[in-house]
Structure 1
């Protein structure tokens, strides 16, 4: 038995925690054991607001499939990143027989959901911009995570500084959508993140991407450029970390949405005269 669950049960037995309170806390501590190789954090979305995302590399195809099946069975959906063709085909074949739906991103992002599953829709708005087409696979990881945190996503691709005028229309669209946070995904020298951060009034999350030539082409040039920005309001995740950027942006957008809802309720409540 997992220690957090044991501790909770001991507190109930000792009378320190009411049964009703324990039942409310239970889903947040839920762990699903898959064979001897995985302990899945089934309560992460309820506990933290961020869904667990299966990392594809390093697992055998059979292990990967078993983990996907467990998430679909217990939570109605499985999310994964960096999924290669072998694992994707294995999951797709199973999904057809199980009447599950599959969404595949261009760079290995994967969503498998049970029939009738719908993600929550109570978050804010996350904007996503990429410098080039080569950055889209990482951007799709951002979108995958943010959408399953309940956020609406508005994205525009291939708007980098080599033709900076291409940025004008997407920024206008993000303003109209009232984006609460913008994620900028950029390889090469990564300059787009600083440019965007200097033009918008919301937080910007920079994602350096391992696309480029020669020295610094593995994402280090973009990473160092973003870290050395002189534009305030830009924070940076690790190279190619679309999942981390999506989680950070989703948390920001969800908090803004909560504040917006509370402000609307307060405004609608009549005051005593």
Structure 2
């Protein structure tokens, strides 16, 4: 697969419209970190390794905080890590131009200056009049968009003349022109993969003082608990995990109540009837985020029973996220941490 390296970002570089970068298959929200304190998180399910790598490289380039991809299977994770980590090619950027990002199936540079000559031939064709030396193209190279023939990579195109800052050469769909790649200004970004959480992480945040306890009702709930714990840790929360404390053996839960009460937030992960959220909600004063899971037999309705039970809890003020969404719980805890950190400073 194609590799993606992380180039040095310039303020506004690659930004299209209101803080987004258009990759063709995705519009990456590169301003979310400025708005919410954390870059956009990639949902890996349904995406190819190339797509995840391209989005990750874009986020790494335009943000400073941790970059995460959730729900990524192990074989796809290996491809993504190899691509982003090895940096076998650059994120395409035409020198001096704004808005150059990789676009599936091939890079599609964008014109930065509206004053430039934006004559574009029809898809799948090219206009010979746009080539240097034909018509007036030789005298307007500073604002010319030169289109190589379909199926080529533009290597036959002459070197840019005139003002390179506005000379944008467009490679054919499915190919790329090596001359469009900017010099490397940053090392490739190494990442890590947590197979239990199915999580890819680049640039994890240093731990803050905000503490989270993730309490799993049963062993069957551990995959969702692992996702919540790994994400919370990657975004800078101090995480402790308590396992197998379901209400069928209430003494196991009571043995952990001091640890639960000391937390800034508790994330409760439970399936079946979801009673653990109510039990812990009656023991602690801190915010509690409940995650219903799809574990359990028929009447559990794949997590719906736990979801409704948590919403209907007698323990007031419980926050309930979606079924099996360890990610949602970690993000709820992060929002609480943002407010707490502001009040502490």
Q: Report the TM range for the smaller structure's normalisation.
A: 0.7 to 0.9
Counterpart mapping for 1:109-188 below 5 A: 109-111=199-201, 113=202, 117-122=203-208, 124-175=210-261, 178-188=262-272
Counterpart mapping for 1:180-259 below 5 A: 180-259=264-343
Is residue 51–residue 148 contact of structure 1 (8 Å, CA) maintained in 2?
no
Q: Tell whether 2:194 aligns with 1:104.
A: yes
Is residue 126–residue 250 contact of structure 1 (8 Å, CA) maintained in 2?
no
Q: Tell whether 2:81 aligns with 1:92.
A: yes
What is the alpha-carbon root mean square deviation over aligned residues?
2.5
Larger helix percent: 1
Equivalent residues, number:
229
* Segments of 4+ moved more than 4 angstroms: none
- For residue 33 of structure 2, give the secondary structure of its aligned residue in structure 1: helix
Deviation at 1:172, TM superposition (A): 1.6
State the alpha-carbon separation in 1 of the partners of residues 69 and 316 from structure 2.
32
Find the counterpart in structure 2 of residue 31 from structure 1.
20
Is residue 109–residue 140 contact of structure 1 (8 Å, CA) maintained in 2?
no
- For residue 162 of structure 1, give the secondary structure of its aligned residue in structure 2: helix
Shift in CA distance, 107/217, structure 1 to aligned 2, threshold 3 Å: farther
Deviation at 1:95, TM superposition (A): 5.1
Question: TM-score scaled to structure 2, two decimals?
Answer: 0.60
- For residue 79 of structure 2, give the secondary structure of its aligned residue in structure 1: helix
User: Unaligned stretches of 5+ in structure 1?
Assistant: 1-21, 263-273
- For residue 193 of structure 2, give the secondary structure of its aligned residue in structure 1: strand
Deviation at 1:184, TM superposition (A): 0.3
Correspondence for 2:71 among 69, 82, 87:
82
- For residue 198 of structure 2, give the secondary structure of its aligned residue in structure 1: coil
Is residue 184–residue 206 contact of structure 1 (8 Å, CA) maintained in 2?
yes
Find the counterpart in structure 2 of residue 265 from structure 1.
none
Deviation at 1:229, TM superposition (A): 0.9
Is residue 123–residue 253 contact of structure 1 (8 Å, CA) maintained in 2?
no
Is residue 40–residue 59 contact of structure 2 (8 Å, CA) maintained in 1?
no
Deviation at 1:118, TM superposition (A): 4.8
Question: TM-score scaled to structure 1, two decimals?
Answer: 0.74
State the alpha-carbon separation in 2 of the partners of residues 45 and 136 from structure 1.
29
State the alpha-carbon separation in 1 of the partners of residues 61 and 223 from structure 2.
27
State the alpha-carbon separation in 2 of the partners of residues 207 and 78 from structure 1.
23
State the alpha-carbon separation in 1 of the partners of residues 39 and 231 from structure 2.
7
- For residue 219 of structure 1, give the secondary structure of its aligned residue in structure 2: helix
- For residue 126 of structure 1, give the secondary structure of its aligned residue in structure 2: strand
State the alpha-carbon separation in 2 of the partners of residues 39 and 144 from structure 1.
26
State the alpha-carbon separation in 1 of the partners of residues 242 and 206 from structure 2.
23
Larger Rg: 2
Deviation at 1:54, TM superposition (A): 0.8
